[in-house]
Amino acid sequence: MYKKGDSETYGELKPYLDRLMALHTAQVLFGWDQQTQAPKEANPRTSAVIGILSGEYYRTVTDERLKTLKEACEKDAGLTDTEAAIVRELGDTMEKLSCIPEKEYRQFAELTARAAAVWEKAKKEKNFEAFAPTLKEILNIQKHFASCRAKNGEKLYDVMLGGYEKNFDMECLDRFFGRLREVIVPFVKKLTESGVRIDDSFLTGDFSEEKQAQIARFVAGYVGFDFQRGVLGVSAHPFTMSLHNRDVRMTTAYNNHVDDAIFSVIHEAGHAMYELHIPDELTQTLVGTGTSMGMHESQSRFLENVIGRSRAFWVPVYPKLAEVFPEQLSGVSLDDFVRAVSKVQPGPIRTQADELTYPIHILIRYELEKMLVEEDLPVWDIPEVWAGKYEEYLGVRPEDASEGALQDIHWSQGSFGYFPSYALGSAFAAQFYSHMRRTMDIDALLEKGDLSPIWEYLRENVHRYGKMKTSRQILKDATGEDFNPQYYIDYLLEKYGGLYQVSA
Amino acid sequence: MYKKGDSETYGELKPYLDRLMALHTAQVLFGWDQQTQAPKEANPRTSAVIGILSGEYYRTVTDERLKTLKEACEKDAGLTDTEAAIVRELGDTMEKLSCIPEKEYRQFAELTARAAAVWEKAKKEKNFEAFAPTLKEILNIQKHFASCRAKNGEKLYDVMLGGYEKNFDMECLDRFFGRLREVIVPFVKKLTESGVRIDDSFLTGDFSEEKQAQIARFVAGYVGFDFQRGVLGVSAHPFTMSLHNRDVRMTTAYNNHVDDAIFSVIHEAGHAMYELHIPDELTQTLVGTGTSMGMHESQSRFLENVIGRSRAFWVPVYPKLAEVFPEQLSGVSLDDFVRAVSKVQPGPIRTQADELTYPIHILIRYELEKMLVEEDLPVWDIPEVWAGKYEEYLGVRPEDASEGALQDIHWSQGSFGYFPSYALGSAFAAQFYSHMRRTMDIDALLEKGDLSPIWEYLRENVHRYGKMKTSRQILKDATGEDFNPQYYIDYLLEKYGGLYQVSA
């Protein structure tokens, strides 16, 4: 499947790379399984298995022979560009892991596998204290890992951020989130005080799971998800994962808000299309996946918000929805529906947040993570600080821990530094959108139900590179400009200023 | 989780064993996934991943250091009984694999992963020719593997049989199947010519999948399946697999015969209970699973046929079924139902066969496998020989290949020598049943819905040993007698002679 150059050294390296990918793929499948169907009591033993597989992965990456081969490949001029990129990526992975002893690496994998269940239970019981000791352990290990990886006095949180998005450190993110705090926080206050009221009551009600699943499948297929190469499952927290470019899976969840399932599917389909468009030459290699979390989120948020919440998108799709739910949507016009799904409503839950207040949820997590990692905020203080920031920025307080710091799975997986990717993703999306509009009439395309030129743009400029380019390079090469958060600010002010007839 | 003796040598061996079990568990999960939900186009790439993991398994088993440690353990008096059994089992596994080169082993794993899809397509298209070349390749490799393993002029089919059931070679099976051919084949002819007609038309009809799934879950729980430690899924061909004793999964399939799904579930639950009852000390070790295919089938067939098709079983359960399907079962009495699910009806499909004709399907496969392996019958001749034997023994001919030699997945997986286990399982079950009845009134227990003494017997005498004993030892220790197929013959003649008022 992999098109090989004629480097013998690379040929020797290849079996190690294959082993790494196979072990990685197995872990991905275990992850999918644990979140979608594994029985309750399976967790401890299955976590042990996952720990052992992680250990194998670690042993493979840190193998002395692999190191020698990698160094030989770095000096070999006979590598194809792809091979060279794979060797670079391998170097990164080796550097990340080799400073962590195998035992710790493996224990951490077991810990996070267990922690998912601890978190789930604590969330269900709305009991932050039940999760705090595990969280503290995970945070300490992550700090320790980051300190092992830090070079030349690099700050720990910068190390963590770099794990998800290269070239976006605290200095850069402080500026980005600073703009959001200065402009978007007061803008949201203005909107909520504007007196404009949007009715979205019809989105809540008795929508049968069966019919929601029917719409979910329809919408997934409509935006381009290929069921011959993918699965749509159900899980508590929607996510997407890829075994390779012929098996990309996403989940959604069904509740009494019909828009939740629909926009989750559109969001996850954005991730899924990225992975489905990875070229055959790259899939199942170290560069055969989306280049970064931020770039991944740019794809999902672009599809969900920019495309999926636009009026033009719903022109051909809304009649289908109204047909499936004739009672619930009786008397609801296309415009009523489109306004409802863009309603701004500050609330405590990130995943239920509207497009405008969403980055403020991320801002809060960014500030908290900085405090936890750089200022040693005790984990037990999280609920209070959390509530204070929600009050200050959004004017809401969580009623309990399940609405507060327990709402997200990320920290239980050790993913500190991940959250900023969500907001960066939206900012990348806005920059792509602005560029795309110079050459195509997106609304006209959507109104006739033709998403293919949009996919062509994204496949051509983003997807096909996998990890061959960083997100910063991709942005620059595609739009001709370095990362510029102003597009995002402008996009939000224009869209929501228009909807609520308010200016910033 | 594993209770360790104080042998240092064993302590050194342990990480290798853990790695083997983790790799095995990953492959089990891939198997489950491929059969229950993986998207269509995933197969080739995922098969490559599975092939690589098999290669890792192989490399671990054939590692020189492992061999040295195993030999040291064999001489170490400090091992617990369990540890010693694990080392014995490891020795068996090493012997089996070490005579096959890694490349061939791995290629075979990839081949069978691909072959499942080839078989499925050929079956769907009723085209034996489309499967024949793959089957030939698999058969040749299996013969080659068997010849590598054969000791002192052992016959190839005996080697294959030994892989599934120790101490049941062709000599033993020729006697066993000879009895079936002599007694049961003419007995079936007598029954079908007896003029006794049993109405089972009410079992076929429009039974909604949703309600069937509801009954399937109910029955699974009723017989003891624990959903906290297991999953009930859907697949084309029902099967059971175990990741470990806290995660045992089984599937069923829904069609317009309501009894198919129900008895599949009862059957698979018999397998599942065996795996759920594996003690913590043994699970996730080389001896932590059912001792053989035959013993496994004895558990599933005991539960399905001896228990599940008895009148007593249905006394408390039938009202529930009638409640879920009030229209379809209106006017059908408990006795009508019980007679219907024991109706003898020679037909072409093994998995739809009744309890009495079932072993004849196995007899045919046994004879065919012997011809393929020992007499070099060309695979292209299978359909004709197949049809001839069905005609001769059961008086039916398959209408097409999907009803003939393509009906079973087994050969596509290289499982030659597996089929006899099914009939042996029934024979083991009859021997256990006869012994059990000496100390308990099984019908009385079933009528009050109490299966626990039955599970206690099986757990105590069979399940808890895992692979610490062979099936032959288990039978002997439990019943005080070596394998004796007469119990099975007697059981069939008594039960069906009574039902059809015919004597052998």
Residue B2's pLDDT band (cuts 50, 70, 90): very low
The whole-angstrom separation of Cα A320 and Cα A329 is 11
Q: What is the pLDDT of residue A5?
A: 63
Sign of CA dihedral B170, B171, B176, B181: positive
Distance from the first to the final alpha carbon of chain B: 53
For B431, the token pair is: 């021997």
Whether B29 has its CB under 8 Å from any CB of chain A: the answer is: yes
What's the pLDDT tens digit per position in A148-170? 999 889 999 999 999 999 999 99
* Contact check, Cβ <8 Å, B229/A25: no
- Give chain A positions within 8 Å (CB) of B1: 45, 48
- Distance from the Cα of B61 to chain A's closest Cα (Å) equals 15
List, for residues B67-87, the tens digit of each pLDDT value. 999 999 999 999 999 999 999
Nearest to B43 by CA among B54, B28, B33: B33
Q: What share of chain B is helix, strand, coil (3-state, %, to 5)?
A: 65, 5, 30
Chain A residue closest to B244 (CA)? A45
| Domain chopping of chain A, boundaries | 8-127, 170-500
Give pLDDT, residue B5.
Answer: 63
Chain segment B31-63, per-residue pLDDT in tens: 999 999 999 999 889 999 999 999 999 999 999
- Whether B1 shows a pLDDT value over 70: the answer reads no
Nearest-CA distance B96 → chain A (Å): 23
Choosing from B83, B110, B268, B403, the catalytic residue is: B268
Q: Answer left, alpha or beta for residue A153, where phi above 0 means left and psi between -120 and 50 means alpha.
A: left
| DSSP 8-state symbol, A242 | E
B246 in A contact zone (CB under 8 Å): yes
Residues of chain A with pLDDT under 70: 1-5
CB contact under 8 A, A45 and B1: yes
Alpha carbons A316 and A324: distance in angstroms, whole number? 14
pLDDT for the residue numbered A383: 97
Residues of A in contact with B275 (CB under 8 A): none
Q: pLDDT for B126-153, tens place per residue?
A: 999 999 999 999 999 999 999 999 988 9
A38 at B interface, C-beta within 8 A: yes
Whether the CB-CB separation of A404 and A349 falls below 8 Å is answered with: no
Q: Is some CB atom of chain B closer than 8 A to the CB atom of A56?
A: yes
Amino acid at B147: S
pLDDT in tens, A76-113: 999 999 999 999 999 999 988 888 888 898 889 889 98
Coil, helix or strand at residue B404: coil
Among B residues 2-21, those touching chain A with beta carbons less than 8 Å apart: 18-19, 21
Angle made by CA atoms B11, B16, B21, in degrees to the nearest 5: 115
User: Which residues on chain B are in Cβ contact (under 8 Å) with A42?
Assistant: 229, 243-244, 246-247
- A49 with B21: Cβ contact below 8 A: yes
A229 min Cα distance to partner chain B (Å): 5
User: With an 8 Å Cβ cutoff, are A41 and B246 in contact?
Assistant: yes
Q: Is A228–B22 a contact, with Cβ atoms under 8 angstroms apart?
A: no
The hierarchical CATH code for the domain A170-500 is 1.10.1370.30
Average pLDDT, chain B: 95
Distance CA B224, CA B291 (A): 21
Distance between CA A440 and CA B92 in Å, rounded? 66
Task: Note the pLDDT of residue A1.
Answer: 37
Is B268 a known active-site residue? yes
CB A454 within 8 A of CB A442: yes
Put simply, whether A28 touches B (Cβ < 8 Å) is: no
Report ipTM (2 d.p.): 0.88
Q: How many CB pairs under 8 A join A and B?
A: 124
Confidence of residue B238 (pLDDT cuts 50, 70, 90): very high
The residue count of chain A comes to 504
A63 lies within 8 A of chain B by CB: no
Buried/exposed code over A220-252 (b: 16+ C-beta within 10 A; e: otherwise) = bebbbbbeebbbbbbeeebbbbbbbbbbbbbbb
pLDDT band at B3 (very low <50, low <70, confident <90, very high): very low
A282 contacts chain B (CB < 8 A): no
Q: Residue B183: how many CB atoms within 10 A of its CB?
A: 14
Residues B273-285: tens digit of each pLDDT? 999 999 999 999 9
For residues A374 and A155, give the distance between their C-alpha atoms in angstroms, rounded to a whole number: 8
Which residues of chain B make contact with A39, given a CB cutoff of 8 A? 227-231, 246-247
Pairwise CA distance, residues B7 & B86, whole Å: 14
The answer to whether the CB atoms of A38 and B231 lie below 8 A apart is yes
How much is the pLDDT for B97? 86
pLDDT for A331: 94
Task: Write out chain A residues lying below 8 Å of B121, CB-based.
Answer: none
Q: Which of A110, A165, A268, A403 is catalytic?
A: A268
- Look up the pTM and report it: 0.89
Residues sharing a CB contact under 8 Å with residue B1, sequence separation 6 or more, in sequence order: A45, A48, B280, B283, B284
The per-residue pLDDT for A218 is 98
Confidence of residue B481 (pLDDT cuts 50, 70, 90): very high
In angstroms, the CA A228 to CA B39 distance is 5
